[in-house]
Amino acid sequence: MSPSLAASLAGSHPSPPSRGLPALAAIIAELASNQPLEERVARSLESLRVVLGVPECAIWLHSRDGLVRSWGAGDPIITATQVHARLAHPEPVQDSVLVVGIGSGDGQAGALTMRLTHELNDEESLLVTAVANLLGPELAHAAKNRQLEDEVEARTAEINRERIFTEKIIDSLPLGLYVIDREYRIQAWNRKRETGMQGVSREEAIGRTIFEILHRQPPEMLRREFDDVFTTGRIQEYQMESLATGELRTYRITKIPMRLGDSAVTHVITIGEDVTDWKEAQQRFAQAEKLAAIGQLAAGVMHEINNPLATIAACAESLGFKLEDVKKAGSAIPTDANEYLQIIDNEVSRCKQIVDGLLDFSRPKQALKERVSPNDVIERTLLLLKHHVRFKRLTVITELDADLARVPQANNEQLVQVFMALLLNAMDAVGDRGQITIRTRRGTTPDEGVIAEVIDQGHGIARSELSKIFEPFYTTKAPGRGTGLGLSICYGIIQEHGGRIEVDSALGQGSTFRVLLPTVERR
Ligand X SMILES: Nc1ncnc2c1ncn2[C@@H]1O[C@H](COP(=O)(O)OP(=O)(O)O)[C@@H](O)[C@H]1O
Binding site for ligand X (CB under 6 A): 421, 425-426, 429, 456, 458-461, 469, 474-477, 482-488, 511
Give the C-alpha separation, 33 to 36, whole Å.
9
Q: Kindly report the number of other CB atoms within 10 A of residue 293's CB atom.
A: 11
CB of 378 to ligand X, least distance (A): 16
Partner touching 456 among ligand X, Mg ion, none, CB below 5 to 8 Å by kind: ligand X
Q: Report, in Å, the least distance between residue 425 CB and ligand X.
A: 3
**Nearest residue (CB) to Mg ion, 230 versus 474:** 474
> Which residue's CB comes closest to Mg ion?
486
Shortest spacing between CB 453 and Mg ion, in angstroms: 17
Question: Could you give the angle at which helices 412-430 and 374-385 cross, rounded to 10 degrees?
Answer: 50
Q: How many CB atoms lie within 10 A of CB 475?
A: 16
HSE at residue 363, side-chain half, CA atoms within 13 A, is 11
Q: Which is nearer to ligand X, 425 or 519 (CB)?
A: 425
Secondary structure (DSSP) of 147-185: HHHHHHHHHHHHHHHHHHHHHHHHHHSSSEEEEEETT-B
* Residue nearer to Mg ion on the CB measure, 69 or 459: 459
Question: In the range 425-444, which residues lie near Mg ion by CB under 5 A?
Answer: 425
Judged by CB under 5 A, the number of residues near Mg ion is 2
Range 184-213, binding Mg ion (CB under 5 A): none
Q: How far is the CB of 357 from ligand X (least distance, A)?
A: 15
Bridge partners (DSSP) of residue 176 are 272
| Enclosing H/E stretch for 504 | strand 500-505
Burial group, residue 146, by CB count within 10 angstroms (0-12, 13-18, 19+): middle
The candidate with the shortest Cα–Cα distance to 503, out of 435, 432, 422, is: 422
Beta strands in 259-400 (DSSP E): 267-274, 370-372, 395-399
Q: Which does 443 bind (CB under 5 to 8 A by kind): ligand X, Mg ion, none?
A: none
Give the residue among 473, 500, 470, 503 at the shortest CA–CA distance from 488.
Answer: 470
Partner from ligand X, Mg ion, none binding residue 474, C-beta < 5-8 Å depending on class: ligand X
Task: Return the HEC string of 50-90.
Answer: HHHCCCEEEEEEEECCEEEEEEEECCCCCCHHHHHHHHHCC
- Residue whose CB is less far from ligand X, 437 or 476: 476
Q: Which residue is nearest to ligand X (CB)?
A: 486
Cβ-based nearer residue to Mg ion, 59 or 385: 385
Which partner, ligand X, Mg ion, none, binds residue 55 by CB below 5 to 8 Å per kind? Answer: none
Q: Which of residues 480-509 bind Mg ion (CB under 5 A)?
A: 486
CB atoms within 10 A of CB 327: 13
Nearest to 424 by CA among 440, 438, 441, 407: 438
Please identify, using beta-carbon distances, which residue of 425 and 519 lies nearer to Mg ion.
Answer: 425
- Which of these ranges, 110-118, 133-141, 419-427, 453-461, lies near Mg ion under the rule CB under 5 A? 419-427
Nearer to ligand X, 275 or 291 (CB): 291
Residue 377 contacts which entry, Mg ion, ligand X, none (Cβ below 5-8 A, type-dependent): none
If contact means CB under 5 to 8 A according to the sort of partner, which of Mg ion, ligand X, none does residue 230 touch? Answer: none
CA angle 217, 220, 226 (to 5 degrees): 85
Dist. CA 329–CA 299, nearest whole Å: 46
Alpha-carbon gap, residue 370 to 381, rounded angstroms: 18
Report the nearest approach of Mg ion to the CB of residue 311 (Å): 30
**C-beta of 272 vs 486, nearer to Mg ion:** 486
Name the residue nearer to Mg ion (CB basis): 458 or 486: 486
Least distance CB 428 / Mg ion (angstroms) = 7
Closer CB to Mg ion, residue 414 or residue 425?
A: 425
Least CB distance to ligand X at residue 513 (A): 6
Nearer to ligand X, 187 or 483 (CB): 483
CA angle 121, 125, 126 (to 5 degrees): 120
**Helix, strand, coil percent content, the chain, rounded in steps of 5:** 50, 20, 30
Instruction: Report what 484 binds from ligand X, Mg ion, none; CB cut-off 5-8 Å by kind.
Output: ligand X
Report whether 298 contacts 362 (CB < 8 A): yes
Least Å from the CB of residue 491 to ligand X: 9
Shortest Cβ 427–Mg ion spacing (Å): 10
Residue 485 DSSP SS3: coil
Q: How far is the CB of 434 from ligand X (least distance, A)?
A: 11
User: Any contact of residue 518 with Mg ion (CB under 5 A)?
Assistant: no
The CB density around residue 500, as the number of other CB atoms within 10 Å, is: 17
458 binds, among ligand X, Mg ion, none (CB under 5 to 8 A by kind): ligand X
Q: Minimum Å distance from CB 441 to ligand X? A: 19
> Which residues bind to Mg ion, rule: CB under 5 A?
425, 486
